[in-house]
Amino acid sequence: MQGSSNLGLILSLLWCVLLVHGMPSFPRSVLDADDAMTYLQRFNHMGTPNMQTGQMMTEDDMVAAISSFQSMANITVTGKLNNETMDMMNMPRCGMPDNMGFSNAARRKRYAAMARWDVTDITWRINSYSTDLPEADINRIMADSLKLWSDVSGLTFTESTAADADFIIDFNTGAHGDGNPFDGPGSVLAHAYFPTTNPIGGDAHFDDDEGFTQNTDAGIDLFQVAAHEFGHSLGLGHSDDPNALMYAFYRGYIPNFVLPEDDINGIQYLYGENTGAADPTMRPFTVDPNSPCPGQLDTIARTGDGRTFAFIGNLVYQILNDGVATGYPQLISQVFADLPNDIDASFYWPGNGRTYFFKGAQYYRYSDTTPDAGYPLDISLWGLPADIDAAFVWSGNGRLYFVKGDQYYRYNTYTGRIDNGYPRPLSVWGLPVDSIDAAMQFSNSRTYFFAGDNYYRYNDASFEVDASYPRLTAYWWFGCGENNLEDEDDGTGGSLASCLPNTLALVMSLVIFAFFQHF
Ligand code: ZN
């Protein structure tokens, strides 16, 4: 152990040398304060834009954004756009956002576990090649960079020719169909997608304008970039440990690279250690009812007294901002009298302060945790089919929605019916999930979707999932990691509205209002 940390020290010293002396010069794209602001927004260092008020970016916001970047980049935190900061912004780097909602000041420098696969045998396929290197060499570099991660974890990787392999690897230039265009030589080198049930989850894209190389200080070392991107494909965000592979910035070619300790800790948090007895059918994170760190929810509900409860099987957990309340989980029957186990869906209706629960062909109504008389009633009264998956009051417009399979329904509280034209395909929402377990408008007025072990926060302004989601439900909602919902609350979804003049923001609000009519 002592030996490996010495080696880590030697390697990190070597990296410093490389950073100072060994790096070739790269094209500079951040030249002035406007460029810097675009950069800080792009990589999620900006604070909380507010679509409703069209609030302008203040000087304090700028200082906070620059400080956030400086802290993540591990350079002197001044809050000012000095030369060191501009130089760092011009370093080649990964295209994934940096700030994953952590409050940097309070956080130790370490890995960020964001999401995970629920299988440990992962398939991969190279869909397109760069001409920078022979195909056989690219094949070997990809296999070697995956092996870095499988050597120290419970994961195995299998190369596949199947169209639906988990990780699909492409070399692209410019816009390439995923809404995240590459930027020519320098700056962004590659990006990759966190684990999701959407086909793009796990995929890694490399900017083929870079000039990828191997075993040399010249050009961009493909092995380093691929190993970093596969960390994202496996569910790790950017680490602010400057020695970590998952540090956002390119480190140059590193001979005899070994995976740094921070990255090993991160991958083992997600997938466990390499026990040498890999079982490809193993699903390490199926819900253990006795575990304090469950993943997949049946439903999550708020009650009129302001509490939040998560339901799994026959258990209920009261969720606080810093984890599960003392004394929980409890049997559902002990907290919510007469409520059955294995709930399908629920929602809190602010209009009457009641919480509704759905199971099979019936629904129940509660005042806080007390059952209202006269229930259960038949779900057909809502015009809904039995066995719905989720229900929620969308923060975007206050309307009530139900999800079943890959379709959703909008309920009209004035007519007492499902609106005409529903159900519609859930894909309209742009949610990267095809099987939602639960959904909820939380006390921060944001709508959350839960699927498998992961959850997503919806951006009502841009009609998509917020950047840096999905995240692990256990980690954030059940207090099973370093972070909790207090951190979750501090950064809301990114849009450019805060920088827009009020009139333009107003016009955009009207456009958005028009859009609501179609949801
Ligand atoms: Zn990255």
Residue positions counted in the chain: 519
Residues 149 and 266 in one domain: yes
Q: If we measure between CA atoms, which residue out of 390, 404, 384, 459 comes closest to residue 429? A: 459
- Same domain? For 64 and 134 the reply is no
Range of the domain at 392: 280-499
Helix (H, G, I), strand (E, B) or coil at 171: strand
Crossing angle between the packed helical segments 261-271 and 222-233, to the nearest 10 degrees: 30
Decide if 507 is inside a domain: no
Residue 259 CA to residue 295 CA, distance in Å, equals: 28
| 183 and 76, same domain (yes or no) | no
Report how far residue 447's alpha carbon sits from residue 358's, in angstroms, rounded to the nearest whole number: 19
Same domain, 54 and 121: no
Helix (H) or strand (E) holding 477: helix 473-477
Kindly state whether residues 48 and 71 are assigned to the same domain.
yes
Q: What is the pTM of this model?
A: 0.61
What spacing in Å lies between the alpha carbon of 226 and ligand 1's midpoint? 10
| Ligand 1 centroid from CA 275, angstroms | 27
Q: Quick one: 34 and 111 in the same domain?
A: no
375 CA from centroid of ligand 1 (Å): 51
E-strand ranges in 413-461 read: 417-418, 424-425, 438-441, 447-451, 454-459
Angle, helices 222-233 vs 135-150, to 10°: value is 50
Q: State phi, psi for 286 to the nearest 5 degrees.
A: -65, 155
Whether 147 is covered by a domain: the verdict is yes
Centre of ligand 1 to C-alpha 90, Å, is 15
The answer to whether the CB of 418 falls within 8 A of the CB of 401 is no
- 25 in any annotated domain: yes
| 206, 349: one domain | no
Q: Of 387, 382, 380, which Cα lies nearest the Cα of 418?
A: 382
- Residues 84, 210, 229, 261: which is the catalytic one? 229
Distance 388 CA to ligand 1 centre (A): 37
Q: Are 308 and 316 in contact (CB under 8 A)?
A: no
* Contact between residue 393 and residue 402 where contact means Cβ atoms under 8 Å apart: no
Domain boundary among 57, 89, 121: 89
Q: How many CA atoms lie within 13 A of 2 on its CB side?
A: 0
DSSP-assigned beta bridge partners for residue 365: 356
Domain edge (last residue) among 254, 271, 288: 271
Distance 329 CA to ligand 1 centre (A): 36
CA angle (323 as vertex; 320, 328 as ends), nearest 5: 80
**Alpha helices, H only, 151-259:** 222-233
Q: Are 357 and 427 part of one and the same domain?
A: yes
Tally of CB atoms within 10 A around 108 = 7
- Cα 453 to chain centroid, rounded: 12
Flag whether 318 is in a domain. Answer: yes
| Bridge partners, 306 (sequence order) | none
Q: 238: buried, middle or exposed (CB in 10 Å: 19+, 13-18, 0-12)?
A: buried
Rounded to the nearest angstrom, the distance between the alpha carbon of 387 and the centre of ligand 1 is 40
> Could you tell me the distance, in angstroms and rounded to a whole number, from the CA of residue 232 to the centre of ligand 1?
6
* DSSP per-residue codes, 257-311: ----HHHHHHHHHHH----S---TT--TTS--TT-SS----SEEEE-TTS-EEEE
Distance 256 CA to ligand 1 centre (A): 21
The predicted pLDDT at position 487 comes to 64
- In the Cβ-directed half-sphere of 425, how many Cα atoms lie within 13 Å? 6
Q: Kindly write down the DSSP assignment for every residue of 329-371, as one continuous string.
A: SEEHHHHSTTPPSS--EEEEETTTTEEEEEETTEEEEEETTEE
Query: Long-range contacts of range 54-59, CB-CB < 8 Å, 24 or more positions apart?
Result: 54/497, 54/498, 54/500, 54/501, 54/502, 54/504, 54/505, 54/506, 54/509, 55/498, 56/498, 56/499, 57/498, 57/499
Q: Which residue has the tokens 């070597």?
A: 14
153 and 59 in a single domain? The answer is no
Q: What CATH number does the domain containing 137 carry?
A: 3.40.390.10
- What is the 404 CA–ligand 1 centroid distance (Å)? 35
- The answer to whether the CB of 287 falls within 8 A of the CB of 337 is no
Identify the H or E element spanning 512: helix 502-516
Q: List 220's β-bridge partners, or say none.
A: 212
Cβ atoms within 10 Å of 181's Cβ, excluding its own: 15
In a shared domain, residues 85 and 148: no
Identify whether 190 is part of a domain. Answer: yes
Q: State the CATH number of the domain containing residue 332.
A: 2.110.10.10
Please report which residue ranges of 119-158 form alpha helices under DSSP H.
135-150
Rounded Cα–Cα distance for residues 429 and 452 (Å): 18
Q: Tell me the Cα Rg of the chain.
A: 24
In a domain, 212, yes or no: yes
In angstroms, what CA-CA distances link 358 with 153, 350, 388, 419? 40, 17, 7, 20
519 within some domain? no
The total domain count for the chain is 3
Residues near 32 by Cβ (< 8 Å), separated by ≥ 6? none
Full pLDDT tens readout for the chain, 519 residues: 333 333 333 333 333 333 333 455 677 889 998 899 889 888 888 754 443 444 566 788 889 889 889 988 889 999 999 999 999 999 999 988 876 544 333 455 788 888 888 888 999 999 999 999 999 999 999 999 999 999 999 899 999 999 889 999 999 999 998 888 999 998 999 999 988 777 888 999 999 999 999 999 999 999 999 999 999 999 998 888 889 999 999 999 999 999 999 999 999 888 888 887 544 433 333 333 344 567 788 999 999 999 999 999 888 999 988 778 888 888 898 899 999 999 999 999 888 899 999 999 999 999 999 999 999 999 988 889 999 999 998 888 888 999 998 889 998 877 888 988 899 888 888 776 667 888 988 888 888 999 888 888 888 877 888 877 888 887 778 777 656 676 664 333 322 222 233 333 333 333 433 344 445
- Give the SS3 label for residue 243: coil
Q: Examine the residue annotation and report whether 210 is marked as an active-site residue of this protein.
A: no
Together in a domain, 357 and 439: yes
Q: Whose structure tokens read 């709508």?
A: 447
Distance (angstroms) between ligand 1 centre and the Cα of 238 equals 6
What is residue 362's predicted lDDT score, i.e. its pLDDT?
94
Task: Measure the CA–CA gap between 404 and 436, rounded to whole angstroms.
Answer: 8
User: Among the three residues 65, 89, 113, which one is the final residue of a domain in this structure?
Assistant: 89
For residue 227, the CA-to-ligand 1 centroid distance in Å is 10
- How far does Cα 10 stand from its chain's mean position? 33
According to DSSP, residue 107 is labeled -
Q: Is residue 474 a part of any domain in this protein?
A: yes
Q: Are residues 258 and 292 in the same domain?
A: no
